[in-house]
C-alpha cells in the first residue's frame, strides 16, 4: 500500500490535468489519451471542444474506440483552428478538387497521347511507302527508318503491310 501511495504521488499529471491545473488521479479519464508529454495535443482539443465535452464524448463511446476518437478529435481541432469555418471538411473539399483537376489533366494527357499515336501511325505509313519505293535494300540508306526501339515496330508495320505496298508500288 505504501509503495502504491508513493507511486501515485510521484506520478506526473497527464497533459489535460496539467493544463486544467487539477490533481490527476489514477482514474483520470483523459490520462490514457493525453500523456504528460502531449501538452499541445490537449490544449488544441481543449481550445476547440472544451475539456468537459471531451470527457463526455469519450464516456459515450466504447473504450476500444477512444484512442481513435481522440486522434480524430485532435485532428479536427487542429484543422478547425486553421480553418474555423470548414475545419477538416475544407481539407476534404480541397483534396476532392485536386482529384478532379488531376482527372481532367489525365484525360487531356490521354487525348494527347492518342493524337500522337495516330500521328505516329500516319508517319509510319508514309515511311513504309517511301521505304518500299526505294530500290535494292532500302533499309540501309533510307533516312526514314527509325533507329532504336522504334525501328522494330516500324519494320513490323512495314512487313505487315508489305504485300499491300508491293502491289501498290511495283
Query: Which residues form the interface with Zn ion (CB under 5 A)?
Result: 14, 17, 24, 28, 31
**CB-wise, 26 or 60, nearer to Zn ion?**
26
CB of 10 to Zn ion, least distance (A): 15
**CB-wise, 35 or 90, nearer to Zn ion?**
35
* Residues 87/76, Cβ–Cβ less than 8 Å: yes
Residue 37 to residue 35: CA distance in whole angstroms: 5
CB of 77 to Zn ion, least distance (A): 18
* Residues 128/95, Cβ–Cβ less than 8 Å: no
**CB-wise, 33 or 132, nearer to Zn ion?**
33
The residues, any chain, with a CB within 8 Å of residue 151's CB and separated by 6 or more, are: 145
**CB-wise, 42 or 132, nearer to Zn ion?**
42
Residue 131 to residue 137: CA distance in whole angstroms: 9
CB of 70 to Zn ion, least distance (A): 13
> What does residue 111 show for φ and ψ, rounded to 5 degrees?
-65, -45
- For 138, counting Cβ atoms within 10 Å of its Cβ (0-12 exposed, 13-18 middle, 19+ buried), the class is middle
CB of 5 to Zn ion, least distance (A): 18
Amino acid at each position: 500500500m505504501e509503495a502504491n501511495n508513493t507511486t501515485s504521488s510521484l506520478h506526473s499529471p497527464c497533459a489535460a490535468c496539467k493544463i486544467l491545473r487539477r490533481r490527476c488521479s489514477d482514474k483520470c479519464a483523459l490520462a490514457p489519451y493525453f500523456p504528460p508529454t502531449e501538452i499541445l495535443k490537449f490544449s488544441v482539443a481543449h481550445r476547440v471542444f472544451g475539456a468537459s465535452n471531451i470527457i463526455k464524448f469519450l464516456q459515450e463511446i466504447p473504450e476500444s474506440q477512444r484512442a481513435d476518437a481522440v486522434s480524430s478529435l485532435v485532428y479536427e481541432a487542429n484543422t478547425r483552428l486553421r480553418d474555423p469555418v470548414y475545419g477538416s471538411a475544407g481539407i476534404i473539399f480541397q483534396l476532392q478538387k485536386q482529384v478532379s483537376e488531376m482527372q481532367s489533366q489525365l484525360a487531356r494527357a490521354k487525348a494527347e497521347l492518342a493524337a500522337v499515336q495516330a500521328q505516329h501511325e500516319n508517319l509510319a505509313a508514309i515511311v513504309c511507302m517511301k521505304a518500299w519505293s526505294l530500290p535494292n535494300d532500302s533499309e540501309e540508306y533510307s533516312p526514314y527508318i527509325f533507329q532504336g526501339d522504334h525501328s522494330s515496330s516500324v519494320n513490323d508495320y512495314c512487313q505487315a503491310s508489305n504485300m499491300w505496298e508491293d502491289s501498290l508500288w511495283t
